[in-house]
Chain A
Amino acid sequence: MKLSVDRITKQYKNKIAVDRVSFELTEGVTGLLGANGAGKTTLMRMMSGILAPTSGEIRADGIPALAENYRAMLGYLPQDFGYYPEFTAREFVEYMAALKGIEKRKARRKTEELLEMVGLSDVAKKKIKTFSGGMKQRVGIAQALLNNPKILILDEPTAGLDPKERVRFRTLIEELGKDSIVLLSTHIVSDIEHIADRLIMMREGCIVWKGSQNEISCDLEEFYLEKYEDLLVEA
């Protein structure tokens, strides 16, 4: 599968959040790096079909991002999400399954499977509002995987996770990258250092660097900072 982002721009009244960004993704893990406010979230929202770009096109094997068929193969974890206060972890995931058009019995099985995978089976019956940040984030990851997404977009997925959870999460992402397109954003270089095949670095709505991690000979963190220093000097 090929996911192509073609000259995407998002302009708000007086601010360009994403400025003519183009790239192509195939199966594998891609890291989207950039400081807060670099336009990562706006870009990911457009790639998740929930925000229409001002101009440009996003298509996966020809299917436009705003179509139902696109969303049917999408898993999305927003940077910040809420939940209905009465929901337990299980109810939340099952509700998302319903919206993803998954049949009831399958939804139930998948929910148990995923809650098990993110290590929340024993608290499946507890209300999400009693959860810690890391637990809530794991519920979010579980819902994103419900429909075996071909395209998985994760906005700051490691936020709130403790070191042990981070390690487990990295293994999971690596596994998913084998037959899905995974795009994950972060501002923490070490999160993607070993799992991302490709990197996209953003600053002020533009891509400052994209390529495979092999192309970077030095330390990734160093390389990343260097890219940003350059820009500062130019500015």
Chain B
Amino acid sequence: MDLEKTYDKIYRYVYFKINNRSIAEDITQETFLRFISKKGDFHDSDIRYLYTIARNLCIDEYRRVKPEPLTDEINHSVVDSDNTENRLLVKQALEKLPVEDQELLLLRYVNEESVNTMSKTLGISRFALYRRLKNAEEKLRLNLEVEE
């Protein structure tokens, strides 16, 4: 397993859920540590366990700090200027989707997980996953058209 790449993937996934760099990074590391204390070594197929551990840790984190959602000092928009407007549009369109659909899109198109890995991680059939993905894509497309 390419640990660096996996770290990025888990971190991105957790950041999506938590929206705070240092907490996201803590959870990412905790995910790796919990995994290694149980399994000892990393193999390619283990990524789904990492996602599962990460998701559970995120849920714990939500429970711990319920009232105020933690957000980073809106650093999204300052990173590169030419794309900011476009990114904001996409972000708005994305945020109108249910969180589950956003998660699917992240896993599939940003983390580039295979349908196989995803269906195992989420515990649904490949067919159902495929349909939900298509659905989410379609909704996003529609939202984008509305925004424009």
Contacts and interface: CB of A to CB of B under 8 A. Distances in A.
Chains A and B in contact, CB within 8 Å: yes
Interface of A: 103, 105-106, 109
A60 B2 CA distance: 25
A103 B4 CA distance: 12
A109 B2 CA distance: 9
A204 B63 CA distance: 65
A103 B5 CA distance: 13
Interface string B1-21: 111110000000000000000
9 contacts: A103-B1, A103-B2, A105-B2, A106-B2, A106-B3, A106-B4, A106-B5, A109-B2, A109-B5
A64 B4 CA distance: 27
A105 B2 CA distance: 8
Contacts of B5: 106, 109
A109 B4 CA distance: 10
Contacts of B1: 103
A109 B3 CA distance: 12
A106 B42 CA distance: 14
Interface in B83-137: none
Nearest to B1: A103
Contacts of A103: 1-2
A38 to B, nearest CB: 38
A103 B41 CA distance: 14
Contacts of A106: 2-5
Contacts of B2: 103, 105-106, 109
Nearest to A113: B4
Interface core residue of B1, B2, B4, B5 (most chain A CB under 10 Å): B2
